């Protein structure tokens, strides 16, 4: 199996940031949820930004207007990882 390391440059709105912040705050009230696997030492800001990235890259924000994805996904670089 090959591995590719990919770096995305994403753009997000204040509304997306606030929703992700609220989601992370909610997850703090549920420490046993699957959400926390692999995230134990992450800061709130890292959790918020990774949640935004996950939603953008999963297409959750693009269902109503596919052209919105072009405004959010600004760049992508790939490198073969060793």
Per-residue pLDDT reduced to its tens digit, 41-61: 999 999 999 999 888 877 765
Q: Any bridge partners for residue 4, and if so which?
A: 80
Contact 57, 22 (CB under 8 A): no
Token pair of 24 as six digits: 């992370």
pLDDT digits (tens, 9 = 90+) for 13-37: 899 999 999 999 999 999 899 989 9
Concatenating the DSSP letter of every residue in the chain gives: ---EEEEEEE---HHHHHHHHHHHHHHHT-TTSGGGTT-TT--HHHHHHHHHHHHHHHTTTSSS-TTHHHHHEEEEEEEE--
pLDDT at residue number 68: 60
What are the domain boundaries of the chain? 4-80
């Amino acid at each position: 199996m090959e591995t590719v390391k990919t770096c995305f440059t994403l753009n997000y709105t204040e509304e997306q940031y606030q929703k992700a912040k609220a989601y992370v705050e909610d997850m703090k009230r549920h420490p046993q949820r699957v959400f926390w696997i692999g995230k134990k030492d992450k800061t709130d800001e890292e959790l918020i930004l990774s949640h935004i990235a996950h939603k953008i890259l999963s297409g959750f924000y693009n269902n109503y207007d596919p052209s919105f994805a072009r405004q959010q996904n600004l760049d992508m670089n790939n490198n073969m990882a060793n």
